[in-house]
Structure formats: structure tokens, C-alpha cells
A and B are shown apart, each in its own frame.
Chain A
Amino acid sequence: MAAICFDGVSKIYGDGTCAVDSLDLDINEGEFMVFVGPSGCGKTTALRMVAGLEEISGGRVVIGEREVNDVSPKDRDIAMVFQNYALYPHMTVAANLAFGLKLQKHSKAEIERRVQDAAVALDLEDYLQRKPKALSGGQRQRVALGRAIVREPAAFLMDEPLSNLDAALRVQTRGEILKLQKRLGTTTIYVTHDQVEAMTMGDRIAVMRKGVLQQIGTPQELYTRPANTFVATFIGSPAMNMVPAGAIGIERDALLAGFRPEHIRVGVAGDGVFGFEAVVELVEYLGDERLAHVRLDERLLTAKLPADQQLETGATIAFTVPGQAVLLFDAETGLAVDAAS
């Protein structure tokens, strides 16, 4: 395993589009780092620059102790898992797994051992002689993972590897990837646009938007102390509610108040508790809780309430938010200011 460092890395395409803008980021040895952000935010481009599949326009990428800007992909000691599997269709599963090892000139016995170990780890033993077309989506993705792990590389690069799987398989494979990464201890960069995946998998998460790193931190840090309104609303589902501070009784100009749906309760404002009145527009019953969509002035807010909380659609209800749960952001720049309490 090896640490990976982005040192002012930029990617500017020929037409002037800046896909990644001066990215500074240190990924520790053995760390599971998740790049998350909406489509076009530059997360995949950043990953591909580590892989050597995109030229670096500016800055340095360092893997271990070595700058790899001008090193070819095969010499970077990395393995990549692609969104679309990218298996070799004319080769069997065993041949797919062994291809990289053969090119690295490992002995036949060593190749067989590693392929067998990977097949056992990924439950692919019964499929080694099959071709990819004879496998299900989940099995193909496991082969793609296996192709990465047999190489025993310094780092895994994963580009939305679960996005083509159905919901149930995604949850299952997510767990398998995590267990595998923890067991192998290999430094991993994992790209996803799914913030749930990011929150559940990453040791740390780097949130990107329009090529710019917005915030880096543990899932808890991003959730509880977002650096700006973008991170605040991107991380968490349902998204954080964002209203002018004055709407919930905070008398500070040009600020936005952000609070999570689970912090809203029905009740009247009091000491250390902010309050607002809103019209209930829709209530969704989810079994263990209710999601209430309420309108405060022109803004639609979401409240996550206990399942036994009865609300009448169309009624105007008083809600509260604890002061320590409210985050303040500059209305102009979107940057976090401080806590409201």
C-alpha cells in the first residue's frame, strides 16, 4: 500500500474546460477515500489522473514516494475497477483474473495461487471457466474486483463500481468491498455520486463541485460541520433544510440557517430552541418514521418525525429546532459562519 498525494493538480481540456482546479489532497496509506459530488464535478477525472489515463495539466500526483505525472499506467502499481466492469469478453473469468499477472511475468504457480485466492475471496470458484457473458451483473462486478485484487497493487482506484447493480446487490457488494479493503489494507480511492455510499464506505470523504474540492473530512465531520451550503445540502438524505436565519427567529442579517430534518420537532419555541410555523403540504409514512414536507414562506422544508406523530395536511403547525442543531452560513458566499446557539 502507498499514500497518494494530489499537489495542486489541475486538468484543463483543449477547449479550456477546467475539470479539476488545483486539487490539494493527501490520502494516507491504507485509507479508504471517497470522492463524491454531482455529475461533472471532476471526481472521475481526478481518479483517472491517478491511474494515468488522463494527462495532468498542472501540479503533481505522488504515489508513495514517487511522482507519477509521466509514468505510464502499467508502471504506477495501481489497479482500477471500472463502472462498466470492462472485462475482456473473449477470456474466461480465470483468464481475466490472470491477464495482468501474466504481463507482470509472475510464475505459473504464483498466478494460479493468486487467481484461486481471489476466486475464493469473491466466491467465484464455480465460475472460473465461464466467460463474462455467462455471468450475472453482480458476478461480473466481482470479477472486475478480483482482477484488481490479484495484482496486489499499492492502491485501488474504483470508479462508481456499484452504479450498475440493483439496490439490494449494491448494498451487499458495498459490504464486500469494505470488508475486502479492510482485510487487504490497500489504499483506495472510490468515486461515487451516491452520498449514502460515500457516507457508509469512506474513512474520509472529499466533496467536489465544478472541479473544486469543497471539503474533506470524515463522514461525521461532513454531516455535522459542513464547510458550506453545497456540502450541507449534498451530504445527508433528506437534504439539510436551508432558510434565511430570520425565518426561525435568529436576528442576524445576511445569514442562512441550516438544520437537518431529524432535528425538527413539533412544538413551541423556547429557551435555546428556535421555532417557526409552517403549512404541512405532504406527509409520507415510512414505517419507522414520517417525512413531513412543510412550507415556510416560499421554501419547502422536510422534517423527519416519529412515526406516531399525527399531522394534518394543510394545517399550520408550530415546529422547533434546537439551537445547537442550527448551522449558519453566509448568504452570499455560502460558507459556514458558526453555530447559532
Chain B
Amino acid sequence: MSAIQDWQGRRRRGAMTESQQGLVQSADWKRPSVRWGLGGTQTALLVLLVIVGLGPILWLAKAAVTPTQDTLSNPMAIFPHGADWSNISGAWNEVDIGLYIWNTVVIAFGSWLCQIVVATTGAFALSVLAPKWGRVITAALLTTLFVPSVVLLVPLYLEVVHPPVIHHSFINSYWAVWLPAGASAFNVIIMKRFFDNLPREIFEAARIDGAGPFRLFVSIVLPMSKPILGVVSIFAVLASWKDFLWPLLVLSDPSKQPVSVRLPTIAGQTDLGVFLAAMLIACLVPIVGFLIFQRSFLRGTGLSGALKG
């Protein structure tokens, strides 16, 4: 009994604290005009957001297991003639969606790795090692952000076809996607901004403890940078997962293409139900990935305790 009372007390205290932290105080909520007006608006907004955000995915999920004829004749009807689970197996076996998802994973992983390596080492050099011309280099990096990516397509393509020093074309190789992805000034700059705000005393303590630049990078800076690594990773993986134009240009071999390139290519020659099932499978992978890793992505800075606040 006392445990229940204790729990209820905590719940009430928690609720009061939350409402006091918002813009509208708990006292305001007691007024009928606020309760009905604001409460109604909030509910309507929530419903609207769910419909807009979740609606297409739910429709896709429905359509993926609906016979093609039903989807074409009455797209919004919910299973008028029952479900057709063979679409899923069709997507897996006929479209070979598993291969393209695997290709996408490989491309995304390689792009992510290249971007993380370049961003962290570049930012570490500019922010922590702080070379004499660091500011000039940072300014030069910043200016590249103003160049539209479409302008770079042709020079980048030529670079991939005739890379300097190596003189071996990267066309139809994943390196053609990975290496250009790594050259992201945006990642270096946001990573540098984060490193700039890490406490210098900790670096100095590590240097006195005997850490050289490499040890400082690996043992101190990287573990303290999990939040920004998460942010850059999300950007990197999402950009790579969605990228269409560049993989289409450099990966002409269908067996190496990612989902984003392959699905539009096969759209015209595949049964709609099977195609929608393939799309659903392609969508589920990043959604499940986000749900698994969201805690680490959204976690706080993790610096508490390092310094006197």
C-alpha cells in the first residue's frame, strides 16, 4: 500500500515538475479556455503529424501485402480481397532485394567510415593540434560549402575515372562512392566546432600524463566525442542510403547497385505489389536501425564530471 502511495506521490510530483517546466504553467491548464483551446490544438496537431508522417509508411505496409489488382482499383481500401503475402517472397526472390540492401549497407558503411576518418582526423588536426595555417585551411574548407554539389559532378567523375597517382579507374568499384563521400567539408567543420568546445585542460592533462597526438586522439578525444560522432554518422548513413545520382553514375553494374538506384530501374518491369513489397523491405532497414541506435544517437554530451561545472 505504502509503495503504491509512494509511486503515486512521485508520479504527481513528476507531473507537476514537467508542467511547470513548460511555457504553460499548471495553474493555466486549470482554466477551461486554455484546456480546451490549447489542448484541442495540440491534439489536432498530433493527429495531423501522425497522418502526414506515418500515413505513407502505413499505406506502403498495407499495399505491400495487398494483391496488385486491389491496390490499382481501390488504393485506400484495406484488404478488400484479403492479403497477398507472396509479394514479400517475390520481392526477396524475384527482385533480389536482399542483394541490393546488402550493397546499400556496404556502400553506407564504407561511406560512413571514410567520412568519420576524414572528419575526425581533419577536425582533430585543425582544432587540437592547431597548426599555424589552421585558420586559413578552415576558411578554405568553409568556402567549399558554398559550391553547389551538382557543379562538382563532372570534375568528380573525371577524378574517379582518372584518379591522380593511382591511374586506375574506380568506376564500378565501391571506392568510387566511398572516397568522394569522405571528402565532406561540412563534416570536418561541425566536428571541428565540437572539438573546439572540448575542455583544453583535459588535453593538457593527457599530454602531461604522456599522451602524444595519436594517443590523445584515440583515448581522449574520440571517446569524448560520441555525440558528434553519432550526429555525423546519421548524416553520413542517411545521405549514403538515399543517394541516387552519384551511385547511378559510377556503378553501372546492376549487381553492385544500391536499393536507391536499383528500385527505380526495375519499377517499370516489376509487378506493382512485388515492387511495393521491395520498397517496404528497403524502408524497414533504416527504420529498424534507427530504433536500435536511437539512444546512442540522442544521448547527451557525456562530459559531466570532467570539469567543475
Contacts and interface: CB of A to CB of B under 8 A. Distances in A.
Interface of A: 51-53, 72-74, 78-80, 82-90, 99-100, 103-104, 131-135, 137, 140, 147, 151, 164
Given A80-B205, A147-B205, A87 B211 contact: no
Q: Which of A80, A88, A132 is packed against the most chain B CB atoms within 10 Å?
A: A88
B207 A87 contact: no
A99 B206 contact: yes
A164 B208 contact: no
A156 B17 CA distance: 47
A86 B205 contact: yes
Contacts of A84: 199, 201, 307-308
A79 B208 contact: yes
Interface in B101-137: none
Contacts of B201: 82-84, 86
A80 B308 CA distance: 16
30 contacts: A52-B208, A53-B204, A73-B204, A74-B207, A78-B208, A79-B208, A80-B205, A82-B201, A84-B199, A84-B201, A84-B307, A85-B308, A86-B205, A86-B306, A86-B307, A87-B307, A89-B302, A89-B305, A90-B223, A90-B224, A99-B209, A100-B210, A103-B210, A104-B210, A131-B305, A132-B304, A134-B305, A135-B305, A137-B308, A147-B209
Given A51-B208, A82-B204, A88 B306 contact: yes
Contacts of A100: 208-210
Nearest to A144: B205
Interface in B252-309: 302-308
A298 to B, nearest CB: 41
B199 A86 contact: yes
B208 to A, nearest CB: 5
A314 B199 CA distance: 53
Interface of B: 199, 201-202, 204-212, 215, 219-220, 223-224, 302-308
B239 to A, nearest CB: 28
Contacts of B215: 103
A88 B224 CA distance: 9
Contacts, number: 88
B146 to A, nearest CB: 31
Nearest to A89: B306
A132 B304 CA distance: 7
B224 to A, nearest CB: 6
Contacts of A135: 305
A74 B306 contact: no
A164 B210 contact: no
Contacts of B304: 89, 132-133
Given A89-B305, A90-B302, 15 more contacts: A73-B204, A74-B211, A78-B208, A80-B204, A84-B307, A86-B201, A86-B202, A86-B204, A88-B202, A88-B220, A103-B215, A131-B305, A132-B305, A134-B305, A147-B205
A302 B278 CA distance: 87
B207 A164 contact: no
B204 A89 contact: no
Q: Which of A85, A135, A164 is packed against the most chain B CB atoms within 10 Å?
A: A85
Contacts of A104: 210
Nearest to A132: B305
The 8 A-B pairs of least Cβ separation, nearest first, read: A132-B305, A133-B305, A100-B209, A103-B210, A89-B306, A86-B201, A133-B304, A164-B308
Nearest to A98: B209
A132 B305 CA distance: 5
A87 B199 CA distance: 10
Contacts of B206: 88, 99
A138 to B, nearest CB: 11
B305 A103 contact: no
A164 B201 CA distance: 15
Contact of B207 (A53, A131, A133): A53
B138 to A, nearest CB: 19
